[in-house]
Amino acid sequence: MTRALPPICEPERLLAELGQVPSEAREDAVQESWVAYLAGRDPVRAVNSFAHRERRHERQSLCGVSG
């Protein structure tokens, strides 16, 4: 499936951040970038925050910590 990215000035930054997101969550990360873009926020920062949340959630579920 082809993902359309939001029209930003530096798409290579967004692609680099998307590369840090696990493949199974990448579509959700693209959606996060669109929501941020439409809300007037930085899509790259939104993807970065999403990736951090995903990694934190993964660590917690591996350790058995309930959030």
Give CA separation, 65 vs 8, 21, 30, 51, 62, in Å.
37, 22, 28, 19, 8
Whether 11 is in a domain gets the answer no
Q: Are 3 and 27 in contact (CB under 8 A)?
A: yes
Q: Which two tokens stand for residue 39?
A: 């809300």
Judge if pTM exceeds 0.75: yes
Query: How many structural domains is the chain composed of?
Result: 1
Give pLDDT tens digits for 5-64.
888 888 899 999 999 998 899 999 999 999 999 999 999 999 999 999 998 888 888 777
Residue 63 inside a domain? The answer is: yes
Q: Is residue 49 part of a domain?
A: yes
Q: Is residue 18 part of a domain?
A: no
What residues make up the domain containing 56? Answer: 26-67
What pLDDT is stored for residue 57 in this prediction? Answer: 86
Residue 12 covered by a domain = no
